[in-house]
Amino acid sequence: MITIASLVNGRPSRGFLSRLRSRRYAAYWMVLPLFALIVGLIVYPFVYSIYLSLENKAETKFVGLKNYAMLLRHGTFWLVVGNSFRFTLIAVFFKATLGLILAMILNNLPFRGQRIWRGVSLIPWVMPLALSSMGWWWVFEPTHSAINWLLVQFGGAAKPWLSDPFWARVSTIVTNIWYGTPFFMIMYLAGLKSIPQSLYEAAQIDGAKALQRFRYVTLPMLSKLIAITVMFSTIVTFANFDIVRVLTRGGPRYTTHLFGTYAFNVGIEAGHLPRGSAVALFMFPILGLAAFFILRNIARGEE
């Protein structure tokens, strides 16, 4: 991977460029808008949210870590922590697994079919998530919707999809799997294509069965890509807002809230901006850790 690696440990070649020192000033002007954007609209708001999280509700008094302490003592907050981890771990696991299976299926198809079905499989990921979540909301509607009707037809029992904590969690996770599996598929499919065919041929000559070829050729060749994609998806899934907001609004009784939706609930809807900030900031160490692993993986892959 050229991009990140050349940034992390590459160094632009000397010679031609070093003759042109004046270029440096041009370069400063060219990165200035990006720099201003990052500092003004990402770093500054981030630092400001830390400051904000240390104030009282009316934002008139500095209260130190009280907002954080309140959250940590609150059962609801721990429910949100548990939900966020459960939602992320389960959804990412299924997305990564189903994405790999789907990529291998598509990789077996002849060129034309592969192109068409890859495109169709990408639709869930292409569609704006807030809008497709409205579709899922209707799918999970208990009395008039098709899914309970199907369950009953096949001899099962109708489920209270969005009003029971367990099924509401299942619903949000299923929607996330639906949305994210195509992303894994597209990454894996590109990875599968980069594996030299000769490796499979060699394995076949050595008498490796299909499962062994998968275990000893495909998986090791994809391991770095799998790691990066999983970390990437972990960040996006962990910070998801749209699905839970549309499907359950965090209910029933906070049992499906994630950090993002709970921060919205506390900060915007209940009007306690400082405490909402504190909720959102709890995400940061986890996201930072995932980002660290991605960067390390990418940098290491280049050595």
Site for other proteins in 112-131 (CB under 8 A): 113, 117, 119-124, 126-131
Nearer to other proteins, 24 or 73 (CB): 24
3-state percent helix, strand, coil for the chain, nearest multiple of 5:
75, 0, 25
Nearer to other proteins, 26 or 157 (CB): 26
Nearest distance from C-beta of residue 255 to other proteins, angstroms: 19
Q: Which residues contact 72 (CB under 8 A, 6 or more apart)?
A: none
* Coil/strand/helix, residue 62: strand
Residues 19-48 within binding reach of other proteins (CB under 8 A): 20, 23-24, 26-28, 30-31, 33-35, 37-38, 41-42, 45-46, 48
121 Ramachandran zone, left/alpha/beta (phi>0; psi -120 to 50): alpha
What letter would DSSP give residue 215?
I
Q: Pick one of 203, 217, 246, 247: the residue that binds other proteins (CB under 8 A).
A: 246
Residues 173-232 within binding reach of other proteins (CB under 8 A): 178, 181-182, 186-187, 190-191, 194, 225, 228-229
Q: Pick one of 73, 111, 144, 154: the residue that binds other proteins (CB under 8 A).
A: 144
Nearest distance from C-beta of residue 300 to other proteins, angstroms: 13
CA dihedral 100, 102, 103, 104 (to 10 degrees): 90
Q: Is position 55 an interface residue for other proteins (rule: CB under 8 A)?
A: no
Cα(first)–Cα(last) distance of the chain, in Å? 11
Nearer to other proteins, 35 or 93 (CB): 35
Cite the beta strand spans of the chain per DSSP E: none
Q: Pick one of 105, 170, 199, 208: the residue that binds other proteins (CB under 8 A).
A: 105
Q: Is position 85 an interface residue for other proteins (rule: CB under 8 A)?
A: no
Nearest distance from C-beta of residue 166 to other proteins, angstroms: 21
Residue matched to tokens 């209707």:
138
CA dihedral 277, 292, 8, 230 (to 10 degrees): -110
Nearer to other proteins, 217 or 281 (CB): 281
Q: Is position 156 an interface residue for other proteins (rule: CB under 8 A)?
A: no
Q: Is position 256 an interface residue for other proteins (rule: CB under 8 A)?
A: no
Q: Is position 81 an interface residue for other proteins (rule: CB under 8 A)?
A: no
Nearest distance from C-beta of residue 2 to other proteins, angstroms: 6
Q: Is position 97 an interface residue for other proteins (rule: CB under 8 A)?
A: no
Whole-number CA gyration radius for the chain: 24
Number of residues that bind other proteins (CB under 8 A): 107
CA-to-CA distance for 65 and 68, rounded, in angstroms?
A: 5
Q: Give 9-18 contacts, CB < 8 A, sequence gap 24+.
A: 9/299, 9/302, 9/303, 10/302
Residues 60-79 within binding reach of other proteins (CB under 8 A): none
> How many CB atoms lie under 10 A from the CB of residue 221?
16
Using the contact rule CB under 8 A, the part of the chain among 85-93, 157-165, 198-206, 285-293 near other proteins is 285-293
CA-to-CA distance for 230 and 95, rounded, in angstroms?
A: 9
